[in-house]
Each structure stands twice: as structure tokens, then as C-alpha cells.
Amino acid sequence: MVYVVHDITERKRAEERRISEQQRFTQDMTDNLPCIYYLIDIDGNIIAWNRKALESLGYSSEEMSGMSAMQLVAPDNKDYAINKIMDGFNKGESFGEVDLISKDGVKKPFFFTCRSTYKDKKTYLVCMGLDISERKMMENEMIKAQKLESIGILAGGLAHDFNNILTAILGNVSLSKNTSNPGDVLYRRLSDAEKAALRAKDLTKQLLTFSRGGAPVKRVISIIEIIKESADLVLRGSDVRCNYFMADDIRPVEADGGQISQVIHNIILNADQAMPHGGTINIRCENVTVGSGDPIPLKSGKYIRISIEDSGIGIQEEYIPKIFDPYFTTKQKGSGLGLATAYSIVKRHDGLITVESKLGVGTTFNIYLPATAKKVVLRSEDKSFPVFGIGKILIMDDEEIVRKVAGEMLSYLGYRVEFAAEGSEAIEQYKKARDAGNPYNLLIMDLTIPGGMGGMEALKELLKIDTDVRAVVTSGYSNNPIISEYKRYGFKGFITKPYNVIDLSKIIHGIINKP
């Protein structure tokens, strides 16, 4: 009798050891999975999990013990998750995307595959989920880019037509201003009109940002000065205080200083408007290195990161995916273009802009821009008066109002002017002038001529005739990156529409007088 009891006890112990070893093996196996794992009973309770499940959501084993699956699911996903769990039990398998909530309240997307299993005459659901946060981020970036591209087609056409009209307005105003007495009432009124025209010019710049014609004109710059100048301009007269935390060794970036200034301006303006009763903006700038394993959609390399943090009202969670959409705004007087413009500019610089926000706490925008090993080249400040000269210039533009005002500005500056409406006409006139021994010193060529030969095509033909031809490209809009890479196409300079007499004089004088 004693022997039988001893034998049964040993068999029980052996069975317990076997079960314990099997459980340890199962736990070790699931702990080494690259995804999260849950075992759920028919009542929806979590009865087993792996290490990844704890790490991903920030819970301890003690905290996870006794929790139901629904306690981890985001509120707006609960009905969907319940249906998927029921499908798993009833149909044997189910799969789908479900958002879980971490211990600290952060929503994380997972793609789950669930299969039913049987043990001890009970049915369970084995659920394995892959974190798809990075994929979702990439998808959102693609959707934003598609939205911006579609609005860019419309915006580019509008900007082209508007800039031609604005060239005539700004040109006439600046010409009249330069021929008026600074003490006259007329001079003051012309100055006000010029300021209004320049504000309109800034608006077309925002429109062009969405189009392919808004390619940045890059040079090596130091970002700190741009940040401080933009912040000071926005916050002048505001109750908001700005603190700067700048690393001493910030790397240079190769960027369009005007466009980056616009990014900083738009984000700080957004922060200022989020704090109507005053507050604090903290701006940080630091060097960062992005590796292949980092969970942000950027190429590996060296970057600078600009963080703009406010203590405002914050952004509602459901609005965060939409804030970079064109024309999305929660403000009664907002245009919805500011953050969309910032997003588009940063993307054109091969960078990234992200946002983090909590209601009642504040919002932080992070801007990543690629760093460069090139040295910053300091530029001397422009003079604020026109530069006069002599020479013969051919203006090629399909818009009569542009030809007229550009001709008047050039005549005022001392140049002789002739006109052509499109490329073939310009080529013919160039040949005649050259053969007559009275060649043009410079051509100003519109890049895009609807229904005719544009500046790029015309210059190709002119270079066959005269390799020393000097031409300036001008445009209000283009699908080609010629404005930013004009030298590649044989142009000696560029001037974007609209322009005034001072801008025009400096470009022309610098090229005509260059040896």
C-alpha cells in the first residue's frame, strides 16, 4: 500500500514537472516573438502574455494579471475589437487593425491575427499583434503629400496668373515711388500700396509652396539667426515670452532661408494664437543623428532638430492627423494654409515635421532638416536703392502688361529696351541685332509661354547661335526646377515675379557688368 501511494505521488510530481517545463518552454517561445502575444479566454480575459506585450504598453506582469482584453483597447475601437474577438471564437480565426492604449495613455496601432485553440475542453483565442506605428506614419505622410500635390496643381496656375498681374502693379508702384519726393503725401501712399503688394506677393509664395514650382533655392545657412529673427518678428507686441535653448555647435544646413523662415514664422504664429492670455514658447535647436533603426521616416544621416514648444491649450487628439491638411483650421479667422505650408516646405528640404500635443498642457512641433558639411557663406546686405546702367535688353514675355511695366522700369534705369512675345520671335530678333552689329547685352526671358516657345527652349536655340548669350530667366510659376537650378540650363541669373525696380536693377547690373 505504501509503495502504491509512493508510486502515484512520483507520477504526479513527474506530471507536474512536465507541465511546468512545457509552460516554461511555451513562455520562452512566446517571449522571443517579435510581436505581442495574448491568450484570451471565452470571457475576454487575458490569461497569458509575452514580454513584448508588457514592454509595448508599459505594464508589469502583476498589472496585466486579471485584466480583460477590452481594458487595453482604445475607446473608439472597442466595438470593432469585440466583433473581431467573437469572429475568432466563432469562425476559428480573425484579423484586423486595432488601436491599443499604453499605460501612459498613448494610442498605438497593431495588426492582429487571432486563431482559436482548445485546451482542457475549453476554447481560447491566441492573438498576435504587430506594431504598425511606423507603417501608419508612412501612410499618413503619403496621404498628406497626395493632398498637397492635388492642391498644388490648382495653386500653381493661380499663382502664375496672379504674379503676372502683381508684377504690373508692383512694378508701376515702385517706379512711381522712385520718381516721387520722399516728403510728399503721394510717396507715403505709394509706400503703403507697395507694402500691400508685397503682402500679396507673400500669399502667392504660399500658393507656390504647394506646387512643383515652389522648389527651394538653397544655399548653406546658419539656422539660429533665422529662428530668432522669425520669432522676434511674430512675437513683437505679444504677451508671449520666448526662451531659446540653442546648442553651441549647431551644424549648417543647405536650405532656402526664406522658406525656412516661413516655416518658423507659421509655427510660432500658431503657438502665439494658442495662448491668447500670454504664456511661454521654448525653442530648442540641437544636432541629431538618425540611424536605420530609428522609428522616424528619414534617411540615415546627420540632421538638426528644431523643437518649438508652447504652453497653450493643446490640440484635440482627433485633429492631430489633420493639422497639416490644406485649409484645415479650427480658428474662425484662420486660412488653414500656415501649417500645410510649413509641412510642404520641410518635405521639399528632405526633412520631417512632427507634432505632439496634450489638451491643457501644450503642443510641441519638431522639425528635422538635413545637415551639411559645407561652410556658411556670409552675404553682404543689399542696398535699398536702384542701380542704374547702360545697355540693350530684350524682354520676352507673353503678357503685354508685364512687357510694358518691365520696359518702363528698364528705361528708367538707363537701358534701351525691345520686346518679344515668345521664343521664336526672340530668336529672330536676336539674330537680326547680332548680324547688324548691335547685339543685345541681356535677355529677360519668361520661362513659360502658353501656346508658344518658352525661355528654356528658346535659350537652347540661342546658345547654338551664340555661346556667350546672357539671359535671365523669370517666372511666376513653373513645373520645372529651373529657377533653383538656372545655371544648369545656361541662364546667368533669375528673377521671380512679381519684382520691383530695385530687384530688377540689381540682377541686371550684376550680369551685364560681369566680365
Q: How far apart are CA 232 and CA 263, in angstroms?
A: 14
pLDDT in tens, 392-444: 999 999 999 899 999 999 999 999 999 999 999 999 999 999 999 999 999 99
Q: Which of 230, 276, 267, 479 is nearest to 355 (CA)?
A: 267
Mark whether 420 and 481 lie in a shared domain. yes
Alpha carbon of 49 to those of 25, 52, 62, 78, 96: distances in Å? Answer: 14, 8, 12, 20, 19
> How high is the pLDDT of residue 316?
85
Mark whether 309 and 365 lie in a shared domain. yes
Question: Per the domain annotation, does 2 fall within a domain?
Answer: no
Question: Per the domain annotation, does 49 fall within a domain?
Answer: yes
Give 119: exposed, middle or buried? Use CB within 10 Å, 0-12, 13-18, 19+.
Answer: exposed
Written as nine digits, the cell of 124 is 481560447
Mark whether 127 and 212 lie in a shared domain. no
> How high is the pLDDT of residue 378?
61
Alpha carbon of 437 to those of 443, 463, 465: distances in Å? Answer: 16, 18, 14
Question: Per the domain annotation, does 258 fall within a domain?
Answer: yes
Q: How far apart are CA 100 and CA 94, in angstroms?
A: 17
Mark whether 92 and 182 lie in a shared domain. no
Domain boundary, last residue among 375, 391, 423:
375
Q: How far apart are CA 326 and CA 439, in angstroms?
A: 48
Q: Which residue has the cell 501656346?
A: 451
Q: How far apart are CA 458 and CA 291, in angstroms?
A: 46
Mark whether 445 and 468 lie in a shared domain. yes
Give the structural domain span for 91: 33-131
Domain boundary, last residue among 321, 349, 375:
375
Domain boundary, last residue among 359, 375, 391:
375
Cα-flanking dihedrals φ and ψ of residue 420, to 5°?
Answer: -145, 145
Q: What is the CATH number of the domain that holds 99?
A: 3.30.450.20
Cis peptide before 498 (omega within 30 of 0): yes
Q: Which of 500, 477, 487 is nearest to 213 (CA)?
A: 477
- H helices of 378-486, in order, are 400-413, 423-435, 455-465
DSSP one-letter string for 225-261: HHHHHHHHHHHTT-SEEEEEEE-TTPPPEEE-HHHHH
Q: How far apart are CA 304 and CA 299, in angstroms?
A: 13
Mark whether 76 and 199 lie in a shared domain. no
Alpha carbon of 503 to those of 53, 174, 219, 308, 440: distances in Å? Answer: 62, 10, 19, 34, 21
> How high is the pLDDT of residue 381?
45
> How high is the pLDDT of residue 4?
46
Across the 515 residues of the chain, what is the mean pLDDT of every consecutive 10-residue run? 52 56 61 85 91 90 90 92 92 93 90 90 91 82 67 65 82 84 84 80 65 67 89 84 92 88 89 88 95 84 95 86 71 61 88 91 94 76 73 94 92 94 96 95 92 93 94 75 84 89 90 84
Q: What is the CATH number of the domain that holds 260?
A: 3.30.565.10
Relative to beta strand 253-255, strand 107-119 is unpaired
Question: Per the domain annotation, does 7 fall within a domain?
Answer: no
DSSP one-letter string for 114-156: EEEEEETTEEEEEEEEEE-HHHHHHHHHHHHHHHHHHHHHHHH
Q: Which of 348, 323, 212, 201 is nearest to 271 (CA)?
A: 323
Question: Per the domain annotation, does 141 fall within a domain?
Answer: no
Mark whether 367 and 394 lie in a shared domain. no
**Contact predicate 474/495, CB 8 Å:** yes
Contacts 24+ apart (CB under 8 A), 108-111: 108/56, 108/57, 108/133, 109/133, 109/136, 110/36
Mark whether 486 and 428 lie in a shared domain. yes
Question: Per the domain annotation, does 1 fall within a domain?
Answer: no
Question: Per the domain annotation, does 146 fall within a domain?
Answer: no
Mark whether 89 and 178 lie in a shared domain. no
Mark whether 249 and 354 lie in a shared domain. yes
Alpha carbon of 451 to those of 35, 69, 391, 406, 425: distances in Å? Answer: 59, 65, 30, 22, 13
> How high is the pLDDT of residue 3?
46
Number of domains in the chain: 3
Mark whether 174 and 198 lie in a shared domain. yes
DSSP 34: S
DSSP one-letter string for 302-358: EEEEEEEEE-S----GGGGGGTTSTT--SSTT--S-HHHHHHHHHHHTT-EEEEEEE
Written as nine digits, the cell of 70 is 477590452
> How high is the pLDDT of residue 72?
93
> How high is the pLDDT of residue 213?
47
Identify the bridge partners of residue 23 per DSSP, sorted by sequence position.
none
Q: How far apart are CA 513 and CA 515, in angstroms?
A: 6
**Contact predicate 119/39, CB 8 Å:** no
Mark whether 122 and 166 lie in a shared domain. no
Q: What is the CATH number of the domain that holds 473?
A: 3.40.50.2300
Written as nine digits, the cell of 208 is 507656390
Q: Which residues of 26-42 are buried (b: 16+ CB within 10 A; e: fewer)?
A: eeeebeeeebbbbbbbe
Question: Per the domain annotation, does 352 fall within a domain?
Answer: yes
DSSP one-letter string for 158-186: HHHHHHHHHHHHHHHHHHHHHTS-TTSHH
Q: What is the CA radius of gyration of the chain?
A: 33
> How high is the pLDDT of residue 285?
96
